[in-house]
Amino acid sequence: MTGDAAVGAQAGPATEGTLPPRALVPATPARRPAWPEEDRHRRPSGKDRIRSHRPPPGTWAWTAALVVAVVLLALGGGWARALAGLDQAVRDFLAPLGRPPEWATDLGRIGAVLGYRVLWIPTVLVLVWTARWRHVLVYVGSIWLMAAIAQVVAGDAALVPDAWEGVIGSEVSISLPAWPVIVLATVATGSLFVLTPSGRVRRWGWLVVVGLAGGLATVRVALLLDTAADAVLSAVVGCAASALAFRVLAPEHAFPVTYRRQVKAHLRFHPARVERIRAAVRDQLGIELDEIRPYHLGGSAGSTPCRLRLAHGPPEDLFGKLYATTHLRSDRWYKWARVLRYGRLEDEAPFSSVRRLVEHEDYMLRLLRDGGVRVPEPVGVVEVVPGREYLLVTELVPDAVEVLDSGMDDAVVDDALRQVRRLWATGAAHRDVKPSNVLARGDRVYLVDVSFGELRPSRWRQAVDLANMVLTLALAAGPRRVVERAQAFFTPEELAEALAATSSLTIPRQLGRRLADADGDLVEDLRALLPPHPPIRVQRWSMRRVLLAAATLGGTVLAMLLLALNLRAGGLL
Instruction: Output phi, psi for 253, to 5 deg.
Output: -70, -25
Mean pLDDT for the stretch of residues 295-321 = 82
Residue 17 resides in a domain: no
The predicted pLDDT at position 74 comes to 74
Residue 150 has pLDDT above 80, yes or no: no
pLDDT digits (tens, 9 = 90+) for 15-73: 333 434 444 444 434 344 455 555 555 666 656 555 556 677 788 889 999 998 888 87
The predicted pLDDT at position 543 comes to 76
Q: Count Cβ atoms within 10 A of the Cβ of residue 361 and give its class: 0-12 exposed, 13-18 middle, 19 or more buried.
A: buried
- Which one is predicted more confidently, 515 or 407? 515
The CB density around residue 441, as the number of other CB atoms within 10 Å, is 15
Residue 32 resides in a domain: no
Q: Rounded CA gap, 179 and 451, in Å?
A: 50
Residue 510 has pLDDT above 80, yes or no: yes
DSSP 46-81: -SPP----PPPTTHHHHHHHHHHHHHHHHH-HHHHH
Q: Which of 171-185, 406-420, 450-464, 496-510 has the lowest mean pLDDT?
A: 171-185
Residue 210 has pLDDT above 90, yes or no: yes
If pLDDT is split at 50, 70 and 90, which confidence band does 563 have? confident
Mean pLDDT for the stretch of residues 196-219 = 90
Residues 141 and 221 in one domain: yes
Residue 169 has pLDDT above 70, yes or no: no
CA-derived radius of gyration, the chain: 32
If pLDDT is split at 50, 70 and 90, which confidence band does 154 have? low
Percent of the residues in the chain that have a pLDDT greater than 70, as a whole number: 78
- Which one is predicted more confidently, 262 or 186? 186
The predicted pLDDT at position 260 comes to 77
Question: Helix (H, G, I), strand (E, B), or coil: what is residue 306?
Answer: strand
Residue 12 has pLDDT above 50, yes or no: no
Residue 423 has pLDDT above 90, yes or no: yes
Residues 234 and 279 in one domain: no
Residue 461 has pLDDT above 80, yes or no: yes
Residue 344 has pLDDT above 90, yes or no: no
Q: Which of 28-37, 90-99, 143-152, 319-328 has the lowest mean pLDDT?
A: 28-37
Residue 431 has pLDDT above 50, yes or no: yes
Residues 249 and 125 in one domain: yes
Question: Helix (H, G, I), strand (E, B), or coil: what is residue 379?
Answer: strand
Q: Rounded CA gap, 530 and 198, in Å?
A: 60
Q: Rounded CA gap, 231 and 571, in Å?
A: 18
pLDDT digits (tens, 9 = 90+) for 372-386: 999 999 999 999 988
CATH number (domain holding residue 414)? 1.10.510.10
The predicted pLDDT at position 236 comes to 92
Q: How many domains is the chain built from? A: 4
Residues 245 and 280 in one domain: no
Q: Where are the alpha helices (DSSP H) in 115-154?
A: 117-129, 133-154
Residue 389 has pLDDT above 70, yes or no: yes
The predicted pLDDT at position 47 comes to 62
Distances (CA, A) of 490 to 69, 162, 423, 466, 493: 74, 77, 13, 9, 8
Residue 92 resides in a domain: yes
Residues 192 and 309 in one domain: no
- Which one is predicted more confidently, 341 or 413? 413
CATH number (domain holding residue 373)? 3.30.200.20
Q: Rounded CA gap, 553 and 547, in Å?
A: 10
The predicted pLDDT at position 1 comes to 39
Mean pLDDT for the stretch of residues 230-236 = 88
Of 231, 260, 289, which one is at a domain's C-terminal end?
260
Across all residues in the chain, what is the average pLDDT? 80
The predicted pLDDT at position 469 comes to 96
The predicted pLDDT at position 106 comes to 74
The predicted pLDDT at position 494 comes to 94
Residue 130 resides in a domain: yes
The predicted pLDDT at position 22 comes to 41
Residues 233 and 271 in one domain: no
Does an H or E element contain 239, and which? helix 228-249
If pLDDT is split at 50, 70 and 90, which confidence band does 472 have? very high
The predicted pLDDT at position 14 comes to 40
Residues 546 and 471 in one domain: no
DSSP 254-280: TS---SS---TT-----HHHHHHHHHH
The predicted pLDDT at position 299 comes to 60
Residue 535 resides in a domain: no
The predicted pLDDT at position 364 comes to 94
Q: Rounded CA gap, 415 and 438, in Å?
A: 11
The predicted pLDDT at position 163 comes to 45
- Which one is predicted more confidently, 40 or 283? 283
Residue 27 resides in a domain: no
Helices (H) and strands (E) in the chain, counts: 21, 10
Of 378, 395, 412, which one is at a domain's C-terminal end?
395
Residue 6 resides in a domain: no
The predicted pLDDT at position 555 comes to 84
Residues 127 and 198 in one domain: yes
Instruction: Output phi, psi for 495, to 5 deg.
Output: -65, -40
- Which one is predicted more confidently, 572 or 99? 99
Percent of the residues in the chain that have a pLDDT greater than 90, as a whole number: 33
Of 233, 260, 287, which one is at a domain's C-terminal end?
260
Residues 180 and 82 in one domain: yes
Residue 282 has pLDDT above 80, yes or no: yes
Residues 507 and 409 in one domain: yes
- Which one is predicted more confidently, 502 or 26? 502
Domain of residue 523 covers: 401-528
If pLDDT is split at 50, 70 and 90, which confidence band does 566 have? low
Instruction: Output phi, psi for 504, to 5 deg.
Output: -65, -20
The predicted pLDDT at position 34 comes to 54
Residues 70 and 196 in one domain: yes
Residue 224 resides in a domain: yes
Residue 177 has pLDDT above 80, yes or no: no
If pLDDT is split at 50, 70 and 90, which confidence band does 316 have? confident
Residues 446 and 546 in one domain: no
pLDDT digits (tens, 9 = 90+) for 243-273: 999 998 888 877 888 887 766 667 888 888 8
